Structure 1
Amino acid sequence: MITNMGKLDRGLRIAVAVILLFVAFGTGMAGSGLLFWLAVIVAAVFGVTALVGNCPIYNIVGLKTCKDCG
């Protein structure tokens, strides 16, 4: 799998994932319904793509946010 995400993009995704998990588990805002599960799923997707360094949607549209990618 080829990396198509830059460091800033990956860092922002990790930050958003942490915030979403905090909202889902640390506050009562999301409750236990649809918003809770949506926040958890989006956080998981953002976390995995940030750790792997590859976003499938970027591949589809031909976008790369890193300067060193091949």
Structure 2
Amino acid sequence: MKKNMGTTDKIIRILIALVIGILYYTGTISGTTALILGIFAVIFAITSLVSFCPLYLPWGISTCKKK
């Protein structure tokens, strides 16, 4: 897997995952909405940690800085 996510992209994804976690913890979201957003939060966190987003591949998107 070649990295295709830059630092800004990773930070934004982690922040979104944290906001979803906080919304769930405070009871603002629940039920199906919480489940779906929770899945997105986990995906965002994993893709941020590995610096790779499979959805970027078909379109050739890369937010990494060029070397």
Fold-level similarity (TM above 0.5): yes
Partner of 2:26: 27
For these two proteins, the number of residue pairs brought into alignment is 67
Distance 2:54 2:19 in 1: 22
Where do 5+ consecutive residues of structure 1 fail to align? Answer: none
TM-score under structure 2 normalisation?
Answer: 0.91
Distance 1:60 1:5 in 2: 14
Runs of 4+ off more than 4 Å: none
Q: Deviations over 1:1-27 (max 9, x none)?
A: 110000000011001011111112x22
TM-score under structure 1 normalisation?
Answer: 0.87
Where do 5+ consecutive residues of structure 2 fail to align? Answer: none
Q: Percent identity?
A: 36
